[in-house]
């Protein structure tokens, strides 16, 4: 698949990681090892799993890591909801982060489907005795 940095989904995931870091910096210090840590790890997991999957350079492995990234995306979406309900995030910011997370999840789902739908690679041509 090439360089993970060329994937639009990875770039969006990376931007989301940065946003989560900036946003959670304002959370109460009592959440440093709780919700802040969980949200940051979930966001990092999305971008990291995309990168790792592409780095494996095999379609089936890439699909597996994209599926893991999808799970982390859903985890982050819940944590944003929880943050809003705990009044750590105001509504507009929570909505923006949720929208970005859902957009990324849709991109990853599409990528995952494409990876699974690709036909297996044909065996390389074998030289014949005449060649």
Give 1-35 pLDDT, tens digit per residue: 678 999 999 999 999 999 999 999 999 999 999 99
What's the CATH fold of domain 4-117?
Answer: de novo design (two linked rop proteins) (1.20.1440)
Strand, coil or helix: 70: helix
16 neighbors 48 (Cβ within 8 angstroms): no
| Crossing angle (nearest 10°) for helices 8-24 and 35-56 | 160
Q: How far apart are CA 59 and CA 69, in angstroms?
A: 15
Give the pLDDT band of residue 74 (cuts 50, 70, 90): very high
Half-sphere exposure of 7 (CA within 13 A, CB side): 25
Q: For residue 63, which of 106, 25, 112 has the smallest C-alpha distance?
A: 112
- Overall pTM > 0.95: no
Q: Which is more confidently placed, 125 or 67? A: 67
Q: Where are the domains of the chain?
A: 4-117
89 and 23 Cβ atoms separated by less than 8 Å? yes
Q: What is the CA radius of gyration of the chain?
A: 19
């Amino acid at each position: 698949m090439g360089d993970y940095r060329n994937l639009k989904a990875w770039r969006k995931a990376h931007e989301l990681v940065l946003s989560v870091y900036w946003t959670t910096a304002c959370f109460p210090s009592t959440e440093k090892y709780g919700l802040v840590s969980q949200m940051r790890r979930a966001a990092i997991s999305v971008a990291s799993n995309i990168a790792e999957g592409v780095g494996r350079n095999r379609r089936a492995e890439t699909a597996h890591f994209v599926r893991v990234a999808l799970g982390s995306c859903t985890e982050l979406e819940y944590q944003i909801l929880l943050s809003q309900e705990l009044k750590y995030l105001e509504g507009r910011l929570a909505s923006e982060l949720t929208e970005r997370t859902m957009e990324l999840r849709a991109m990853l789902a599409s990528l995952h489907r494409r990876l699974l739908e690709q036909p297996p690679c044909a065996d390389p041509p074998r030289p014949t005795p005449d060649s």
